[in-house]
Amino acid sequence: MVFVVKIAQVSNPLFLMTAVNSIICQGKKEESECKYSVEETYALILIYTGIKFAYEVLNTLREIPYQRMAAQAEILIADEVYFHV
């Protein structure tokens, strides 16, 4: 899961850059220089959002085991502080 998250983290800005360049290119008067059509631009945007969503979900799933451990540590520290006072 760590490798998938890292790949998504690296590829996400690349798809964003490609989508933004495609949008900027279509705003120009000379569209013959554009590499992507309007449909391909929408596909790039959908791929970007899909990768971003998958990254966030996998990152959250990766943190779940540590959340319980962190909560138990906070409770233990709070108990020690309370008994000390």
> For 38-85, what is each residue's pLDDT tens digit?
788 888 889 889 888 988 888 888 888 888 888 999 999 999 999 988
pLDDT for 65: 85
In 3D space, the residue among 58, 39, 34 whose CA is nearest the CA of residue 47 turns out to be 39
Angle between the 2-27 and 38-84 helix axes, to the nearest 10 degrees?
140
pLDDT for 33: 65
More confident residue, 34 or 48: 48
Contact 48, 16 (CB under 8 A): yes
Q: Can you spell out the DSSP letters for 14-59?
A: HHHHHHHHHHHHHHSS-GGG-SS-HHHHHHHHHHHHHHHHHHHHHH
